[in-house]
Structure 1
Amino acid sequence: MTDPSSPVLCLASASPRRRELLASIGVPVVVQPVDLDEAVQHDEGAADYVRRLARDKARAGSRHSTLPTLGSDTAVVLDSEILGKPRDREQAAAMLGALAGRSHEVLTGVAVAGPAGLLDVCVATRVVMRPISAYEIAAYWATGEPVDKAGGYAIQGLAAVFVERIEGSHSAVVGLPLFETAALLTRQGVPLWNGAVSP
């Protein structure tokens, strides 16, 4: 078995949520954040956008590591519009107000650069939110949780009370679809479960 503390993957992201998700399937990582322009390109659809960023992050991170390298990006999409991280309280309130009482899509792109080349996937999950009052939105902002979250909410945090149901991958909404990610890692020779499961 692999030494459980020895990294087997480079994570090209500073996201603690992605690191925790990988740890939950026994994949220790070395974190190598990359700084990329994350602007949406002209006429770029949301799925193409998250896949492009995931691939760019994996490629950029792999330049600094000999390990297989994972890049990922998540977008909250409402009526074909990508909702990024809110700039301020007003924008966060507008985002949550628009999402409340409706369904939206969360798209997560994952790419892994390694011996098998650059492999990637995009996973779509539908999230249905209950109606949310202006008071609840203001109180949620005051917790500080929405500040750096796409769409202004964290499904794994306090905003779980707003989510009526999801159709698809819960872990993808958090930041990394584990079923699909595990398949990509296996194809790249990355062991799961701290080496108990090897390709």
Structure 2
Amino acid sequence: MAIVLASSSPRRQQLLELIGLDFDIIVSDVEEDNTKDMPPHELAVAHARDKAFAIAKCANHNDVIIGADTIVVLDGHVFGKPADYADAIRMLTALAGREHIVISGVAVVKGEQVFTGFCATTVRIRPLSPRQIERYVSSGEPLDKAGAYAIQGRGTLLVESINGCYNNVVGLPLVTLTELLRQAGVELL
């Protein structure tokens, strides 16, 4: 049995290494569609499930595949990764001085079985000037992050407060993942 992460995210890889998990990486080519008409937590779970199933088709029956997706939700609007520099500025301008929800959907697939869950964390971004937003976006850091910021990087300077799971905001809620892996027969503790 192999454990496979269906993600190219270095942050997710680092979190799995942090807990000592032995895993392989096979990147899913599933495109995230944040325009689907469903509640945000269901959207994140659907993306995670699609990513895991895409890899499971090529895997051995006993392999355990982990899929994940993280989105940011503000006033019911879903923010995924920014399309470009201007989109990152738009997102951060909207988030500045406000609370939003970070939702990560997680799916674990083993054979025909799928175990899913999600985690939601409330984050408040401090008030930011247009110049501060432009300087942060110019660093390049936010261009591949949901909501256009990285709490584990320079983006931590933007975050005023967090209520919930920090690892969820990074991109992989480890407690949620641990429970889903347990359901699939993989004990981490």
| Fold equivalence (TM over 0.5) | yes
Cα gap change, 1:171/1:18 in structure 2, threshold over 3 Å: closer, same or farther? same
**TM (normalized to structure 1)?**
0.89
- In structure 2, distance between residues paired with 1:94 and 1:50: 22
Matched AA of 1:21: L
- In structure 1, distance between residues paired with 2:50 and 2:65: 11
Matched AA of 2:154: L
- Deviation by residue 1:56-83 (Cα, 9 ceiling, x = unmatched): 1111111222220000100011100001
Cα gap change, 1:27/1:8 in structure 2, threshold over 3 Å: closer, same or farther? farther
- In structure 2, distance between residues paired with 1:154 and 1:100: 14
How far apart are 1:37 and its partner, in Å? Answer: 3.0
1:158 equivalent among 154, 159, 164: 154
1:89 equivalent among 73, 85, 91: 85
2:38 equivalent among 29, 40, 44: 44
How far apart are 1:40 and its partner, in Å? Answer: 3.2
- In structure 2, distance between residues paired with 1:8 and 1:29: 7
- In structure 2, distance between residues paired with 1:87 and 1:38: 12
Unpaired segments of 5 or more residues in structure 2? none
Structure of larger gyration radius: 1
Q: Judge conservation of contact 1:125–1:172 (CA < 8 Å) in 2.
A: yes
Partner of 1:18: 12
Q: Over aligned residue pairs, what C-alpha RMSD do you find? A: 1.6
- Deviation by residue 1:22-42 (Cα, 9 ceiling, x = unmatched): 111111211111111321354
2:56 maps to 1:62? yes
- Deviation by residue 1:122-154 (Cα, 9 ceiling, x = unmatched): 111100111011111111112110111111111
Q: Which range is displaced more, 40-49 or 58-67? A: 40-49
Matched AA of 1:40: N
How far apart are 1:109 and its partner, in Å? Answer: 0.2
- In structure 2, distance between residues paired with 1:145 and 1:107: 20
Aligned residues: 187
2:100 equivalent among 99, 104, 126: 104
Matched AA of 1:35: D
Q: Judge conservation of contact 2:36–2:43 (CA < 8 Å) in 1.
A: no
**TM (normalized to structure 2)?**
0.93
Equivalent pairs: percent with the same residue?
43
Partner of 2:177: 181
Q: Judge conservation of contact 1:116–1:188 (CA < 8 Å) in 2.
A: no
Tell me the secondary structure at the aligned position of residue 121 of structure 1.
Answer: strand
- In structure 2, distance between residues paired with 1:42 and 1:159: 28
Q: Judge conservation of contact 1:11–1:31 (CA < 8 Å) in 2.
A: yes
Q: Judge conservation of contact 2:79–2:146 (CA < 8 Å) in 1.
A: yes
Tell me the secondary structure at the aligned position of residue 17 of structure 1.
Answer: helix
Moved over 4 A (4+): none
